[in-house]
A = this chain, B = another copy of it.
Amino acid sequence: MKFFCFALLACLNTVMVLAEDPLPSWKEAPAKQSIIDFVQNVTTQGSDSFVPVAERIAVFDNDGTLWCEAPLPNQAVFVLDEIKRLLPEHPEWKQDPAVAALLGGDLAALKSDQYAGLIKLIALTHTGMSPDEYTERVDRWLETARHPRFGCSYTEVIYQPMLELLDYLRANKFETWIVSGGGQEFMRVFAEGTYGIPPQQIIGSHARMKYELVAGKPTLTKTIDTLFVDDKEGKPVAIAEFIGRRPIACFGNSDGDQAMLEYTTIDNPRPSFGLLVHHTDADREYAYDSNPPSSGKLTTALEAAPQRDWVVVDMKKDWNVVFPADGKKEN
């Protein structure tokens, strides 16, 4: 009886999967088909290209791949808003060249001297507190801050087609990871609710915390020590350190993802898949590659894509909707 039930359920599930389109926000075009082909390829029992569940690791960049990164990366807006919010408590900050550059809009000054100014601003807004206190600050900001162009919360300027892709991969027993230059603890605040990705599958830029018992209570404090920037060659390094297994699928949108795309797709003993989101839709979102509004420069990775067989998503042509709210308006 038990076996009969299982067999019946398996049949029902197969029928349902065949009947439903797992990627309704993707237009019927080669990019969508290549995703479906790859997933069917590695999940078909008995085929040469079958990949065991334990090795179905998919890694996603965040800024510009899962959510909007223009006109400024969302975390940069958080830093700016936090500096402004905290300034009355810290009048001495006004004398800090980094704070002055930020308030004066002098982004070039923040980037000079190997981003020393930017790191100082991150230290002012991201350290000296517990991860719980930091989480509260990010939560409070996410509740109130609004995207300057779209007028909605920053957790709503996420890409509906990529949400469907995450779900589709997980339905096929992939483990979905974020590997992003963004702050690791920053993303962990919202990624579980927003993307269904738990904190332990989120790798980002991070620094070493400090642990001690304070008044008998376990206390972690965020610091800027041993800062690790999870970008470019740092991405495969972080994947090896946190995951310890080569991904078979990698999704990015900029030259900062090129190293992890290469690590995923070149010389991989397993079938592998690489994809770049190309921002081509100025009407619905933004159009940029070599000259982005802020982050997300895409030149060398785009050039390498044909040779590497990386799928390049043309946002304008490949996506029916961009943000979840767009789909709701249409329905």
Contact = CB atoms under 8 A, between A and B. Distances in A.
B131 A202 contact: no
A29 interface: no
A213 B262 CA distance: 9
Interface stretch (A5-13, A95-103, A153-161, A283-291): A5-13
A212 B266 CA distance: 12
A52 B264 CA distance: 33
A243 interface: yes
Interface core residue of A188, A206, A210, A240 (most chain B CB under 10 Å): A240
7 contacts: A2-B8, A5-B5, A199-B245, A213-B262, A217-B267, A218-B266, A218-B267
Nearest first, the 3 A-B pairs at minimum CB distance are A199-B244, A5-B5, A218-B263
A264 to B, nearest CB: 8
Given A2-B12, A5-B5, A220-B237, A245 B208 contact: no
A192 B266 CA distance: 25
A54 interface: yes
A245 B54 contact: no
A104 interface: no
Contact of A1 (B8, B185, B244, B262): B8
A135 to B, nearest CB: 10
A192 B54 contact: yes
Interface residues of A, number: 48
Given A54-B192, A185-B244, A211 B236 contact: yes
Contacts of A245: 198-200
A241 interface: yes
Contacts of A233: 211-212
A105 interface: no
A109 interface: no
Contact of A241 (B201, B208, B267): B208
A242 interface: yes
Interface in A242-301: 242-245, 259, 262-263, 266-267
Interface in A214-248: 216-218, 220, 226, 228, 233-234, 236-237, 240-245
B240 A209 contact: yes
Contact of A184 (B8, B213, B244): B244
Given A198-B245, A200-B244, A220-B237, 10 more contacts: A54-B198, A131-B244, A184-B244, A185-B244, A199-B244, A199-B245, A208-B241, A210-B237, A213-B266, A218-B263
B218 A188 contact: no
A211 B199 contact: no
